[in-house]
Amino acid sequence: MPVNNWPKEDRPREKLLKNGEHTLSDSELLAIILGKGIKGQSCLDLARKILERFKGFRNMGKQDLGHWKEFKGLGEAKISQIKAAIEIGRRLSEEKVKEKRPRISSSADIVKILMPRMQDLNKEVFKVLLLNSQNRVIEIIEIEEGTVDQAKPIIREVFQKALEDSASFVICVHNHPSGSPKPSPEDKEFTQALVAAGEALLIKCLDHIIIGNGSYFSFCDEGMVK
């Protein structure tokens, strides 16, 4: 039966408006994004099948278009809406960090902020935390398509942003889509160049962190950044 034919108190959208989004199940939230179902399935039935297939929202965000198209009748427009909603959720955590401006005292503090989003990315992304003299976050910037194979452009952009925001320290973070955070020779060379550039500009690079799937590598923790 289409959701529009259900009693109002059972419809996900009406439940959200009446009781708040926090009261809805994962499948009900996803059903609202879907808006409508496909032939023979309500939007809630379809939402349940999607969640069962991908084992939750986190894995949904990692799937390419081919996996989504296993659901007959689910078009690219709806797939885009779902992936956009998941990405919004990931970015919210970074926005909260910028508002609170927390003090960074260890690599674990950084990983707690960035791992939820970065561990699931299918491409290598480079982020930089700009810190003030009290080690509090000024800004988190993302360098589009940043990889250590593009070391010179990344280093130039890192310190350009740091100078613009009057940052005292920088911490660089990138992910390994393979899931292993083990540094490559290029990662090590890049870190050395990054530290040297910071010393020349009197903006210290405190750490370079590589994020894998549920694990990370810190050059500072390993004694490779002083």
Kindly report, residue by residue over 42-54, the tens digit of the pLDDT.
Answer: 888 889 999 999 8
The CB-side HSE value for 85 (13 A sphere, CA atoms) comes to: 15
Answer whether residue 2 shows pLDDT above 80: no
State residue 8's pLDDT score: 67
Q: What is the pTM (predicted TM-score) of this model?
A: 0.70
pLDDT in tens, 182-211: 999 999 999 999 999 999 999 999 999 999
Mean pLDDT, the chain, rounded, equals: 87
> How many residues are given for the chain?
226
CA 133 to chain centre: 26
Mean pLDDT, rounded, for 107-120: 89
**Under a CB-based contact definition with an 8 Å cutoff, are residues 154 and 125 in contact?**
no
Answer whether residue 94 shows pLDDT above 80: no
Mean pLDDT, rounded, for 93-114: 84
pLDDT in tens, 148-182: 666 677 888 899 999 999 999 999 999 998 899 99
State residue 1's pLDDT score: 57
pLDDT in tens, 24-76: 899 999 999 988 887 778 888 889 999 999 888 878 877 888 888 888 878 88
Answer whether residue 5 shows pLDDT above 70: no
Cβ-based neighbours of 67, under 8 Å, separated by 6 or more: 54
